[in-house]
Amino acid sequence: MSDMTAPLTGRRALVTGGSRGIGAEVAADGGTAVALHADSADPDQVAASVDEAVSALGGLDILVNNAGVAYIADAETFPLEQFDRLVAINVRAVFVAIQRALPHFGEGSRIINIGSINADRVSVSGLSVYAMTKGAIAGLTRGLARELGAQGITVNNVQPGPVATDLNPEEGEFADANRQVTALRRYGQPRDIASAVSYLAGPEAGYITGANWNVDGGYTV
């Protein structure tokens, strides 16, 4: 076990969207995690996945809301079915999972949302609806941090910049443009985001709540 995962020993975690990319790296990065199949667009399946995780693990200490989708199109032609899908998965599913998990949480529990740097900066056209959903997560994080603070539950939001995944490869014209916008002139790796999540889930981050933490290689500098 690495030094990073050691502080999470015995902690029970559910990571949504954990089958690939950032989610897969987070799920392997500490604690006890359970992998379940659920359609994040279906609120009943989202709620059932939390119930299954609680049953399989005997409780729940950490919820990482990672599942998300994107669709790029300008406002004039953006399909309403895609608008509804982005809102359902990127916003509603996050709230449903949190609402279902809260009865099982106690002092020291952690809610960690995976948002996007596009909540703060949109450098290309066609991302307005996606950015809107991630802005909603930033607002939800701040509100819940205030609401749940007295219970000793922290709520934070990690906002990745360009990160190399199969849906956002670090090669190609789009990637080249993204690299030029970052201070470090490179894409991040899923491990970079998982490290931030691991820290926020651990005991040293007990006084951090309501944060929208940009992990972006200087994308917003």
Please state, in angstroms and rounded to a whole number, the distance separating the CA atoms of residues 33 and 27. Answer: 6
Is 71 among the residues known to form the active site?
A: no
Please state, in angstroms and rounded to a whole number, the distance separating the CA atoms of residues 90 and 100. Answer: 16
Please state, in angstroms and rounded to a whole number, the distance separating the CA atoms of residues 201 and 8. Answer: 7
8 Å CB contact between 15 and 66: yes
Q: Is 116 exposed, middle or buried (0-12, 13-18, 19+ CB in 10 A)?
A: buried
How does DSSP classify residue 134? H
Please state, in angstroms and rounded to a whole number, the distance separating the CA atoms of residues 29 and 2. Answer: 9
Annotated catalytic residue, options 71, 130, 207, 219: 130
Q: Which residues are catalytic?
A: 130
